Structure 1
């Protein structure tokens, strides 16, 4: 039986091999997630000269919860060590730094697609499309190894549309065997506005929640086995005692942005966030 986690390790951020690109290249605005504004291309004031965060162990308490729910899917180390051959953005000209910052978001998107494609290859029900998924994964990986100039000019949206055709087919195959009491129409919650929805104990087995807005939704004890969660916004969603066994296309940032408990059952592809166990 395919291993859903095989090949995913290389698609997790490794800060020790990155030049803190997410702390410099990306902007953030003062909000409940960030204590202050920071423009793109400017180092975060908490970033040290060694590319380490000075408040890493205290980010939530210091008002930087947004940093704790971000994952580059391994793009940081790819850009730092492969695309730019280990050359720090602090060295060379300002143009070198700008190229690095322009390329990082592009590779991050490609690596997120690699995550979904790799996970899909570990889903037995998707076996009929495994050859196509494998070819697309190899093609996407090749794109990540292009030159900085080629990456900056890449039409990522067009490539994403091609990938999505295969991911949709994968979703159909996997969810077909997931069951659930809901009728076919009720299982299709793609892009649904479920902000603050009361879904306590809901039977969402085999549902497609692609791109659904589940911000602050109450999913306590909900059954999400075999559900497609690609792009679902789970910020502040309560997953206490929910069952996400077999849920797929669920990423670590989504889980980190939600609330949960020791009783929440998660797929093997994601880890239980430390701040869940810290809840009273």
Structure 2
């Protein structure tokens, strides 16, 4: 396993920004519908092994029940976000050659997909960090890591599968922690360190959580109606079925579309400008 050193980063390398990190299923070969495994549960109606095609995937690589995923028992699909990794693997890494057309590379493509998703997730966070004025003191470090991560994402399939993504994530995380501290510095609630806290079903209606550290917190089913989450660090927080109606998430740090898609909200939920209001809210 390896991580490329900073010395191998090409000059001028950079990410294409957040737009290229949004899922574009029309340019993907349905990789999440094949490469990923899922187990029958409240999120998925059936069991499916990794590398096995979901029965709902059509020949044109589109989902046959896309408009009714949630009532059909596949709400887990609506919460999944590949950060644009699917179309990159399909159209760039494998040059537009589908796993259906070239069965010899199918398994390799399926193994590359989760690696690329992790890299694209890091690119999303790094791009977000660059948009935060409070994080300006570390923007140079962020730009360097952004360029390096983009270089890694552009490697050939064989090299991608050799990467120690966990090690690279650790390096990126150290800078993201600095970003978080800088953004949350001006809020009294920053002292509320609830990193990884078990807040399942917690009653936090109307809570002042500005600048709170909620990294990796379990907020499953939590009542966050009307809560103030501005500048709170939400990286990795589990928001499944959390009630965000009327909550203010504007300026929250490292929130993703996938997290929002698993939660409950309404028209009064304040969202960061780069994220969309889920259609089921």
Cα distance in 2 for partners of 1:82, 1:262 equals 37
1:75 corresponds to: 85
1:120 corresponds to: 129
1:92, CA displacement in angstroms?
A: 2.1
1:221, CA displacement in angstroms?
A: 0.8
2:258 corresponds to: 253
Cα distance in 2 for partners of 1:244, 1:55 equals 31
- CA offsets 1:13-38 (integer angstroms, 9 cap, x no match): 10111100000000111011111011
SS at match of 1:207: coil
1:202 corresponds to: 207
1:261, CA displacement in angstroms?
A: 1.3
2:22 corresponds to: 12
Which residues of structure 1 form unaligned runs of 5+?
Answer: 1-5
| Match 1:273 to one of 240, 257, 278 | 278
1:263, CA displacement in angstroms?
A: 1.0
Cα distance in 1 for partners of 2:227, 2:58 equals 42
What TM-score do the two structures reach when normalised by structure 1?
Answer: 0.93
1:213 corresponds to: 218
Runs of 4+ in 1 over 6 A off after TM superposition: none
1:248, CA displacement in angstroms?
A: 1.5
Work out whether 1:144 is the aligned partner of 2:153: yes
| Match 1:171 to one of 167, 170, 180 | 180
Cα distance in 1 for partners of 2:21, 2:253 equals 16
1:245, CA displacement in angstroms?
A: 1.4
1:124, CA displacement in angstroms?
A: 0.3
1:3 corresponds to: none
What TM-score do the two structures reach when normalised by structure 2?
Answer: 0.93
Work out whether 1:104 is the aligned partner of 2:90: no
2:144 corresponds to: 135
2:238 corresponds to: 233
- CA offsets 1:188-214 (integer angstroms, 9 cap, x no match): 110111001111111100001000000
- Give the number of aligned pairs: 266
